[in-house]
Amino acid sequence: MPKMAEVFPHRALGAVPGAASHRVAACGDGALAPMCPFKHAFGGVKPMACVRGGLAPWQERRSKELMRSRLESDISLAELATECRLSRSYFARAFKKSTGESPHRWLLGQRVETAKHMLLHSETPLSEIALAVGFSDQSHLTKVFARAVGATPGAWRRGLKQRFIVMPGESETSGSSVRRQSDPAPAHA
């Protein structure tokens, strides 16, 4: 018969202060890793998407929410770290470990995605879009956008307009009014 320490290693090692043992086991930390199959099969515990040395799910979610909500303004690393109850340096390392990008790079990516959405769905001038998504000016937007997308915002917007044409006399919202430029024009009798 197996010893209790073999079946329940967290009891033999002692509880981790402030953390549920199933969370530590689900993350695969150290000696508690053997608990994963047992807990998942018999305890109904689902594995957590933890990365060793990364942010806890609530910290990642909170930091991303905060950055998205303040997209148009600057947010400091210190503010993000304070929200997550971490030091600045630890937060920066943990965020990169969790997301694969530094907080600044992730924020720039969100700004570019928001700019793409605005370019696609509005006729707002590029300078206004740049300010609305948090870039200092249009040239900053252009530089970051071109690096991320491979085309300048103006060229990207023109490329979308050239792909789709609204036929005269039809509304923009009807499904048949939009056709690809490469489609043959209808013959008028």
Tell me the pLDDT tens digit for each residue of 164-175: 655 455 454 544
Specify the pTM.
0.61
Is residue 96 in some structural domain?
yes
CA distance linking residue 118 with residue 122, whole number of Å: 6
Average pLDDT, the chain: 75
Q: Are residues 87 and 112 in the same domain?
A: no
Instruction: Quickly state the pLDDT bin for 29 (edges 50, 70, 90).
Output: very low
Q: Are residues 91 and 114 in the same domain?
A: no
State pLDDT tens for residues 51-110: 688 999 999 999 999 999 999 898 999 999 999 999 999 999 999 999 999 999 999 999
CA distance linking residue 120 with residue 113, whole number of Å: 11
Is residue 47 in some structural domain?
no
Angle of helix 138-149 relative to helix 153-163, nearest 10 degrees, comes to: 60
CA neighbor of 110 nearest in space, from 71, 137, 60: 71
Report yes or no: 78 and 88 within 8 Å, Cβ to Cβ.
Answer: yes
Q: Are residues 88 and 126 in the same domain?
A: no
CA distance linking residue 188 with residue 76, whole number of Å: 60
Q: Are residues 94 and 132 in the same domain?
A: no
CA dist 162 → 23, 157, 172, 176 (Å): 52, 9, 15, 17
Is residue 30 in some structural domain?
yes
H runs (alpha helix) in 51-152: 57-69, 77-83, 88-99, 103-121, 126-132, 138-149
Is residue 171 in some structural domain?
no
Is residue 173 in some structural domain?
no
Total structural domains in the chain?
3
Is residue 95 in some structural domain?
yes
Is residue 13 in some structural domain?
yes
Report yes or no: 115 and 142 within 8 Å, Cβ to Cβ.
Answer: no
Q: How many Å is the Cα radius of gyration of the chain?
A: 25
Report yes or no: 11 and 2 within 8 Å, Cβ to Cβ.
Answer: no
CATH number at residue 131: 1.10.10.60
Q: Are residues 112 and 153 in the same domain?
A: yes
Domain that holds residue 114: 106-164
Q: What percent of the chain has pLDDT above 90?
A: 53
